Structure 1
Amino acid sequence: MGRDAGVSRQTRETKIEIHLNLDGSGRADISSGIPFFDHILTAFCVHGRFDLKLMATGDLDVDLHHTVEDVGLVLGQALSDALGDKTGIQRFGDSCVPMDEALSRVTIDLSNRPYLVYHFPDNLKSGTAFDAHLAKEFFQSFCVKGGFNLHINTDYGVNEHHVLESIFKAMGRALHQATRKTDSAGRPLSSKGML
């Protein structure tokens, strides 16, 4: 059985269609209307080896926030749907990724206990409207709708592009690890017997 899901969402602010395949090869067909967001989501897919088709339109003339947040919500729902009851998955994932002067670590627990911890340097130099604060909104909606605990820590970095790219690459790698199948005899990896 394939571990993939398609989800769509339409509001007065955005229209988003996503198809996610957890067992892909890193193919990304992404159009959010925000080129830098497309770039880092593509890095997420390549390093997580997920196939993602994402088409989003939104009120970008107002702000990037609605589109970014809603993409997180829809991607989180697609992840949750693709994982089902999470039986037989690794559950935990962790990755540390450098990009030039930036170093970021992402740790995930696919526990059905959504929570975000997000730390990044205060001295970032930005060259784009998509910044680390906006990325936080994406990750908040992604982990809440996806039902997972997510810790993102950037130890250091100055260039915001490098920091964000290291975060999204680490996110892809950690999520790939957490979603892999294990030999847990068809049971969720939990002392409670369920997640």
Structure 2
Amino acid sequence: MRTATIARKTSETSIDVTVGLDGTGRYQIATGVGFFDHMLEQLSRHSLIDIEVKAVGDLHIDEHHTVEDTGLALGQAIAQALGDKRGIRRYGDALSPMDETLTRVALDISGRPWFVGNLPFTQKRLGEMDTEMFAHFFHSFAQTAGLTLHIDTLYGENNHHIAEAAFKGVARALRTAIEIDPRKADAIPSTKGTL
């Protein structure tokens, strides 16, 4: 099993994350931000990555530090669990429909972090989470996971659906990218010989 546990402690947050890349999509998520928990559950379920997150943050201020630091810790855990990335497919993409919303996700476990996002929210909050924090989460996650990550909402009206389609799309693309390719299970998927 490719697994990792990360503990991230700052003056603003205390985050504990455990991932199992070869899991079944089991999750235990507790960040104190209900809508964020719901999205992380979708990420786990649809990627088949087992994810445990326990986050305690300065929610009396707002959810910013909790969401950001959870993204950083989760990305770091996935990168650590991937090790030298030997045998992975590396690339993943998904079209993620949710009712009237359609989102396209493409990612590369390249070791070169980059995030491009088109998440056209029309309201400021979903539950107790600012909608601007979704892009910030994905940016933070991509940085420490070493992902080139593109999320493009092709169309959509319902803000809940826009968020959920993005998380499910990332999950499905990540599931493909982290899988071991049986044709090249012993090789680093790069002509450089390293990722």
Pairwise TM-score range, normalised by the shorter structure: over 0.9
User: Does 1:193 find its partner at 2:193?
Assistant: yes
| Cα deviations by residue, 1:3-60 (Å, 9 ceiling, x for unpaired) | 0100001111000001000111111100000010000110111111111111000001
Amino acid at match of 1:106: V
| Cα deviations by residue, 1:166-185 (Å, 9 ceiling, x for unpaired) | 10011111001000001215
Amino acid at match of 1:140: H
Residues 124, 132 of structure 2: 8 Å contact kept? no
Displacement after TM superposition at 1:131 (Å): 3.8
User: Does 1:150 find its partner at 2:157?
Assistant: no
The separation in 2 between residues aligned to 1:132 and 1:105, in whole angstroms, is 19
The correspondence of residues 99-138 of structure 1 with structure 2, limited to 5 A, is 99-121=98-120, 123=122, 126-138=125-137
The correspondence of residues 20-99 of structure 1 with structure 2, limited to 5 A, is 20-99=19-98
Displacement after TM superposition at 1:157 (Å): 1.1
Q: 1:128 to 1:69 in 2, by over 3 A?
A: same
Residues 131, 160 of structure 1: 8 Å contact kept? no
Displacement after TM superposition at 1:101 (Å): 1.2
Residues 27, 50 of structure 1: 8 Å contact kept? yes
Q: 1:185 to 1:169 in 2, by over 3 A?
A: closer
| Cα deviations by residue, 1:102-126 (Å, 9 ceiling, x for unpaired) | 1111111000000000012254575
The separation in 2 between residues aligned to 1:16 and 1:119, in whole angstroms, is 28
Amino acid at match of 1:132: T
Displacement after TM superposition at 1:132 (Å): 3.4
Q: 1:132 to 1:155 in 2, by over 3 A?
A: farther
Amino acid at match of 1:12: S
The separation in 2 between residues aligned to 1:125 and 1:67, in whole angstroms, is 18
Residues 121, 155 of structure 1: 8 Å contact kept? no
**Further displaced range: 117-126 or 80-89:** 117-126
Gap regions ≥5 residues in structure 2: none
Residues 119, 153 of structure 1: 8 Å contact kept? yes
Q: 1:124 to 1:158 in 2, by over 3 A?
A: farther
SS at match of 1:25: coil
% of aligned pairs identical? 46
- Count, aligned residues: 194
